[in-house]
Amino acid sequence: VNTKFLQSIATRTGGKYYFAPTAADLDKIYQEISTIVGKGGVGGTVYNDSNGNKIQDSTETGQAGWKVDLLDATNQTVNASSTTDNQGHYTFQGICDGNYQAKLTIQPWWTLTIPTNPDYLSPSVTNGNTVADQNFGVKQEVKRTSLSCSPSDITLTSTDQTVTATLLDSTN
């Protein structure tokens, strides 16, 4: 092997020259390259945990249209965002080795059942692997409502708002 020739090519092309006489050197080179070239993945499902047991039961379906962010675990920077498909699946591809946080954007009238405290998942991509089953359970909130009527008004009251409709006769 002509080491000087290979180093010269690497220098002229903006690349790096690697030589690994030991397994430890080879591992160090791999770790450096793996942080540059993303080949890992993270994926999971957002599902309707209708009974709130934190397990996706056979009758609990995936939820389409939910946003999941993949953040760098160190500085909380959003690296990528994904929206769930019709089966509630989301994926991130081309992920470099490292530690991440997967965080779900909660939609109105829903609560997160899993994970809780913290409210995010912590996938760790190593050796370009794909970390699957990073699942989020969500449950639709039940809003208490009441309906009251008077001779001139109908009032619908929910836990977060009240709507009143005034009844008019045919002359108004």
Q: Which residues contact 17 (CB under 8 A, 6 or more apart)?
A: 3, 6, 7, 9, 10, 11
Whether the CB-CB separation of 124 and 74 falls below 8 Å is answered with: no
| pLDDT band for position 64 (cuts 50, 70, 90) | very high
pLDDT reported for residue 143:
63
Q: Indicate if the pLDDT at residue 117 is higher than 80.
A: yes
Look at residues 119, 113, 60 and name the one whose alpha carbon lies nearest to residue 88. Answer: 60
Q: Which residues contact 79 (CB under 8 A, 6 or more apart)?
A: 70, 71, 72, 92, 95, 100
- 126-145 mean pLDDT: 88
- 2-31 mean pLDDT: 77
Is the pLDDT higher at 85 or at 22? Answer: 85
Query: Rounded to 10 degrees, what is the CA torsion of 125, 131, 136, 137?
Result: -140
